[in-house]
Structure 1
Amino acid sequence: MSGVYAEDCKDRSNISRWCKFFEEGRVNLLESPRAGRPVTASTERNVTAMEQTILVDRRVHLRTLSARFNISYGTVFDIVHDRLNFSKVCDRWVPKNLTDDHKGQRMIASLDHLRRYAAEGQTFLEEIVTGDESWV
């Protein structure tokens, strides 16, 4: 019984059910596909289509994506958060990880600030206004 957890063996009903499965010719204990929503809801095609939809309209709701792709809300949530690495900020979907282009833009801005600080000194720092990056 390799791959079977010890806590499952404590339950006699599980053991009886497994014996019945093996008598019927089943060769493993993994669950078989069942009727209902398809298991392949998070196909690469759906993931890519969702990403394109989010990039076109960053304010799209998960329920809208769920209805558009006929996929459960939970699956849409997993795709958007876990596979695409988006998070909701100020009612917009933004990538959790910076792209190489974003990193380059931040590097250029940082170098520009360092050059201006070297040239202008403390007065430059007093003129910096910080805030939400979405307007920049």
Structure 2
Amino acid sequence: MLKEVYGNECSSRTQVYKWFKLFKEERETTEEDPHPGPPSTSKKEENIEEISKLIREDRRLSIRGLAEKTGIDKECVRQILHESFNMRKVCAEMMPKLLTPEQKESRMKICVDIPNNIDIS
């Protein structure tokens, strides 16, 4: 089933059994078997760029929405956002964890102005 979904990027059954055996025996890989673990297919540079482009277009996209648009696993999308862009979810927007002082001031002004702009008649 994995071959149908991932095609050539899927690990072979033999390789998976080798990794399982190494994990079970708690051994590191050897020179004859230089692959330390499963291949990282979802954190490729083109996937990171695609997610970056989508986030810049619409910060309200959820992790699920990004995963559906890109065809990448939700957990990989979350890891890319967290590790590559240092972003976390705030309400319904993906935002950088640390705001600059100018960004903080701008958000404060907007929050103060919203109640003042509402016309209650």
Find the counterpart in structure 2 of residue 28 from structure 1.
Answer: 33
Name which of 103, 110, 115 aligns with 1:135. Answer: 110
TM-score between both structures, scaled by the size of structure 2? 0.53
Question: How far apart, CA to CA, are the structure 1 residues paired with 2:58 and 2:25?
Answer: 48
Partner of 1:49: 50
1:94-132 Cα deviation digits (max 9, x unpaired): 11134xxx45x36xx7xxxxxxxxxxxxxxxxxxxxxx5
Q: TM (normalized to structure 1)?
A: 0.48
Distance in 2, Cα, partners of 1:134 & 1:70: 38
The alpha-carbon deviation at position 14 of structure 1 amounts to: 2.9
Distance 1:42 1:64 in 2: 17
Higher relative contact order (CA 8 A, sep 6+): 2
- Unaligned 5+ segments in structure 1 are 1-12, 110-131
Q: Give the structure 2 partner of residue 62 of structure 1.
A: 63
Residues 7-64 of structure 1: CA deviation (Å, up to 9, x unaligned): xxxxxx739xx9xxx8xxx71374465xxxx722111221122112112111101111
Corresponding letter in the other structure for 2:25: N
In structure 1, what residue type is equivalent to 2:67? S
Two-structure CA RMSD over aligned residues (Å): 3.5
Structure with larger Rg: 1
1:88 is matched with 89
User: Residues 135 and 49 of structure 1: is their aligned pair in 2 closer, same or farther, counting only changes over 3 Å?
Assistant: farther
- How has the CA–CA distance of structure 1 residues 29 and 56 changed in structure 2, closer, same or farther, with 3 Å as cutoff? closer
Sequence identity, in percent?
26
Q: Aligned partners of 1:29 and 1:51: how far apart in 2? A: 32
* Cα distance between partner residues in 1 of 2:37 and 2:59: 38
Counterparts of 2:43 and 2:58 in 1: how far apart (Å)?
Answer: 20
Alignment match, 1:14: 25
Which runs of 5 or more structure 2 residues have no equivalent in the other structure? 1-23, 112-121
Residue 64 of structure 1 aligns to a residue whose secondary structure is helix
Cα distance in 2 between the residues matched to 1:41 and 1:96: 23
